[in-house]
Amino acid sequence: MAQPFPYTYYACDCFDSNTAASASRAAQTPADDEDARTFDPRSPRSNYALYPLEHLLYCEDCQQIRCPRCVIEETLNWYCPSCLFEVPSSVVKSDGNRCTRNCYNCPVCTSPMTVSSLEKPTEPSATGGPYILACPYCHWSTVEIGIEFEKHTGITNQLSRIANGGKTLPTQKERDKERERRKEAEARGGIGGRDILSGSEDSPTRDGEGNAAPPGHDDIFSNLSAFYKAQMQAQTPSNPFSPHDLNFSSPSTYSRIMNLYSSTASKKQKREKPALMREAASALEGLALHDPASDIAAIERIKKEGWASTLSPARKLAQLNPHVRFDSELRPTASLLCTKRGKRCRSCRHILSKPESKITSTRYKIKLLALNHIPRLSLRALSPATTTTTPGPSHPPFNYNALRPGIPIHFLLHLSNPLFDPIRVTLATPSTTPGAIASRITILCPQFDVGANTDVWDDALSSSLSPIAKRSGDAQFEAGKIYDRGRNWTAVVLEVVPGFVTPLGGKRDEADGDVKGGGEVDADLLEIPVFVRIEFEADVSVEERGLGDSRGSKGEKERREEAFWTVLGAGRIVDV
């Protein structure tokens, strides 16, 4: 996550809470044990644990921050992004995750298509003329694949009935009927002479043309799925829990019952194993044999129409049938549905974020953000010029990308408290930053209070926190004293002495010109790990009271304490 300096990242606890992690940690060198306690922003694992405060949620039951890896998402509702129509999840389970109304995307450029009418303004027709789907961006339309619609609604139904070129596609019922009829015709025609590639002999009218064209993608699919359904039905007993059910349609049940009642030796050879499941054996069952003639036809077509008539892999794969090759076989793709999701805590299943169920509203019913429970730390450089008078145009702004090593730089760490109670903050940081370049960090005031996030008027009326007079502009940073405070924030000073990128007077080991210490990427990045611990007294909520507590005690405060690691990105150290 590249952010401009200075930034603050918060570490989620999930990065070191597993036992697996501790087991692997035992195998590490003792030097790393030190790092196991202090947070090392340079370790590869911390890459996955650091998030800006805006990305984090907070679970009130567990009283911990939850990063995007510690939450479970669940979909609340499905909707189409172009027509904004909510699709119930039962319909999604049966019809699929695409819009079944009129929302289609262009197969060429993926922009949403519009339904336009082909009627001539001079001769208006009854229904408003034939309709087509047209793309307003690349001007592709269903005219190019030969499809026109009669009505402008229910495009999905109409599209499923028409193949490219205007031929009608049979529906599922018609396919079933046709399949049954053909099966009977084949069974009647006898077993001999049944050649797979040629059609059945005694087929009347329709089959002549049906066998000339190879079965389409959808035909093969429907044949195959019907075949597998039949196989599975034959295998599993209809009711596994009643052995006395005389259901002879399932061969396994039949054989089992027959074995029960006829256990004489003479019948043993008649005992057959139940028929194994077999694969499809004919075109009617979904077997699609590869026909080299189709390849030759495709090659001839490329020779005739040119390379531009073939489809690129991206367009092919976006189609429902990814084996199409030519742009006359393109079909409009229905828009994918989008979801609205809520998030839950992974450990206690408490809802952390829940959007409103209305599709068009972007608000949230429940929104437990870390912003409202964790103090916000922000870093700002405090160059001596800015403390005196207001910086005029002659003072250059502080360059975070060019921190000079060896010179102490002061940063202002600003903590703002979102809670309604005053908190006591303790900060801790290792004295030198981990990593190749060791910069010395000193927090001048490691323990201080921050006021509660009360209303502005409350604070003005009461004077619990005596207002501290504005600093009279001196540049003294005293250890043990805060720099400034306000109603719900406090600022303290951090003194940083950046380390040297290349060791002073040291030899350069690398032969190449890359002088970053240790050859690491971003070794000159000054990141300060700070451990923040806040203590406060909060009202005890109803669920947290134990069973033994009396109900009458209200307003009882309980001490609470929270702690987390943060990483303050201060800048980049230049090589002097």
Q: Which residues bind other proteins (CB under 8 A)?
A: 108-109, 118, 120-121, 132, 134, 137-141, 143-144
Q: Which is nearer to other proteins, 143 or 468 (CB)?
A: 143
Bridge partners (DSSP) listed for residue 529: 567
Q: Which is nearer to other proteins, 118 or 220 (CB)?
A: 118
CB of 144 to other proteins, least distance (A): 5
Compute the distance between CA of residue 218 and CA of residue 169 in angstroms, rounded to an integer.
9
Q: Which is nearer to other proteins, 88 or 121 (CB)?
A: 121
Residue 339, C-beta contacts closer than 8 angstroms, at least 6 positions apart? 75, 76, 77, 78, 79
CB of 118 to other proteins, least distance (A): 7
DSSP string, 512-525: SS--SGGG-TTTTE
CB of 143 to other proteins, least distance (A): 4
CB of 504 to other proteins, least distance (A): 52
- The CA–CA distances, whole Å, from 200 to 182, 203, 366 equal 8, 6, 65
Instruction: Tell me which H or E stretch contains 51.
Output: strand 50-51
| Angle made by CA atoms 322, 323, 329, in degrees to the nearest 5 | 90
Nearest to 345 by CA among 68, 78, 562, 155: 68
CB of 333 to other proteins, least distance (A): 17
Q: Which is nearer to other proteins, 50 or 108 (CB)?
A: 108
Q: Where are the alpha helices (DSSP H) in 423-557?
A: 456-461
- The CA–CA distances, whole Å, from 122 to 63, 130, 143, 391, 566 equal 72, 15, 21, 73, 72
DSSP summary character for residue 311: P
Q: Which is nearer to other proteins, 48 or 137 (CB)?
A: 137
Q: Which is nearer to other proteins, 141 or 453 (CB)?
A: 141
CB of 148 to other proteins, least distance (A): 11
Phi, psi of 167 (to 5 degrees): -75, 150
Q: Where are the alpha helices (DSSP H) in 456-558?
A: 456-461
CB of 120 to other proteins, least distance (A): 6
CB of 305 to other proteins, least distance (A): 12
Q: Which is nearer to other proteins, 7 or 140 (CB)?
A: 140
Q: Which is nearer to other proteins, 108 or 441 (CB)?
A: 108
Q: Which is nearer to other proteins, 155 or 374 (CB)?
A: 155
Pairing state of beta strands 489-497 and 440-443?
antiparallel
CB of 15 to other proteins, least distance (A): 42
CB of 461 to other proteins, least distance (A): 58
Compute the distance between CA of residue 14 and CA of residue 450 in angstroms, rounded to an integer.
27
- The CA–CA distances, whole Å, from 250 to 173, 232, 237, 274 equal 25, 10, 6, 9
Q: Is 193 exposed, middle or buried (0-12, 13-18, 19+ CB in 10 A)?
A: exposed
CB of 82 to other proteins, least distance (A): 20
Q: Which is nearer to other proteins, 136 or 391 (CB)?
A: 136
Cβ pair 111, 135 in contact under 8 A = yes
Q: Which is nearer to other proteins, 94 or 122 (CB)?
A: 122
Compute the distance between CA of residue 311 and CA of residue 326 in angstroms, rounded to an integer.
6
CB of 106 to other proteins, least distance (A): 11
Q: Which is nearer to other proteins, 106 or 284 (CB)?
A: 106
Q: Which two tokens stand for residue 569?
A: 């990105």
Q: Is 23 exposed, middle or buried (0-12, 13-18, 19+ CB in 10 A)?
A: exposed
Q: Which two tokens stand for residue 459?
A: 């604070």
Compute the distance between CA of residue 286 and CA of residue 288 in angstroms, rounded to an integer.
6
DSSP summary character for residue 403: B
Q: Which is nearer to other proteins, 124 or 243 (CB)?
A: 124
Secondary-structure percent of the chain, ordered helix, strand, coil, rounded to 5: 25, 25, 50
CB of 121 to other proteins, least distance (A): 6
Compute the distance between CA of residue 266 and CA of residue 259 in angstroms, rounded to an integer.
12
24 residue type, one letter: S
